[in-house]
Amino acid sequence: MVTKVKNHLVNDIIPFWKGLRDDEHGGYYGFLGYDLKLDREAEKGCILNSRILWFFSSAYTLLKDETLLDEAKHAYSFMTDNCLDSENGGIFWSMTYDGKVLDSTKHTYNQAFAIYALSAYYEASGDKAALEKAKGLFNTIETKCKDKKGYLEASDREFHKIENDKLSENGVMADRTMNTFLHVLEAYTELYRVGKFPEVKQVLENMLTLFSVMIYNKELHRQEVFFDDDYNSILDLHSYGHDIETSWLMDRTVEIIDDETHFWSQKITPITKDLAREIFDVAFDGRSLAYECDKGKVNQKRVWWVQAETVVGFLNAYEKSGCTEKKYLEAAKSCLDFIFEYVADKRSGSEWYSEVTKDGEPIENLPIVEPWKCPYHNGRMCIEIIKRMECEK
């Protein structure tokens, strides 16, 4: 498994994203169609740039290839020179192809990914300015993107609350979302890991409590997804991909912050095991994972990021069982086989399809690169497998 995954990372994913580097205007090109035609003047999403910065930084930390650090520096320069708002703080939603502000929305989800990326870049480069910027964005979220109940969603350039149209879907407009909460926690975990700021740890502990009380639904063995302002669920939705992703990201947070009393592992591990078990039972067909279940109707499309998170989530569940529940290891391997056979696009100059059918047929006309389609999930899958499975040797 490790050899095949490492070859895919080194020979397929990394070269593809290196090829999207824009040396004229900075950053990386923001759109490649299903037809593999590159739009050099497409918007450059700041989430996409953050995820690319995270990817090259993390790949360098793993592989120690200096060309990867050079790519990370290129992404870091675009972020710091163009994407960060030096006047009001925070990071914008998107830029024009030549680096001007296109969408000035300040979304909490987006701030989190910048922290995630800057933390990884600091680890890779040792550049303390990156850590300071990450800590500054932490302060921004905690002072401007949060109220007494928890994290807010979308704000304008000056951090006045606006409608959350970017992370609301399925016919609802949410005041709070599990998705934003999850990725703030993910970002803060990495910030604490590399910076060891005690105030970040305190916030993470508060977030774990909120997760266990308000977001996790014990009776339905899932997370709720969309909420009103008081954390009342506003849609009967089971997001299979987010639940399997959460199962290992929450474990990662506990691993980073838990002390000798194991307080958090005792509180959170039963929840993450429950999430993984439920996904295995209701959403995994033996080789791949369905997308979600909306009001009792299962969406059977196989989305690229969901498959990547399935592999990591099941591999994590296997490890958390003390390597006794072999079904999770076999599920991870089966899903990886599905990815290599059907999701990874074998055409020259491509990467992964955005979506395929349950039977593995690519869904045409969906882009290979766009503001949400990035090397974060599939690149991270490769990195996690290499680190975890090499430890098993």
> What's the longest Cα–Cα distance across the chain?
55
Per the CB < 8 A criterion, the answer to whether 50 and 79 are in contact is yes
pLDDT tens for the chain, 393 residues long, are 899 999 999 999 999 999 999 999 999 999 999 999 999 999 999 999 999 999 999 999 999 999 999 999 999 999 999 999 999 999 999 999 999 999 999 999 999 999 999 999 999 999 999 999 999 999 999 999 999 999 999 999 999 999 999 998 888 999 999 999 999 999 999 999 999 999 999 999 999 999 999 999 999 999 999 999 999 999 999 999 999 999 999 999 999 998 888 999 999 999 999 999 999 999 999 999 999 999 999 999 999 999 999 999 999 999 999 999 999 999 999 999 999 999 999 999 999 999 999 999 999 999 999 999 999 999 999 999 999 986 554
Q: Is the full-model pTM beyond 0.85?
A: yes
Q: Exposed, middle or buried by CB within 10 Å (0-12, 13-18, 19+), for 170? A: middle
Q: Which domains does the chain have, with CATH numbers?
A: 2-392 (1.50.10.10)
Whose structure tokens read 């993107």?
145
Give the contacts of 15 (CB within 8 A, at least 6 positions apart).
none
For the chain, the straight-line distance linking the first and the last C-alpha, in angstroms and rounded, comes to 12
Residue of 220, 196, 197, 223 whose CA lies nearest to 210: 223
Q: Shortest CA distance to 54 belongs to which of 278, 331, 62?
A: 62
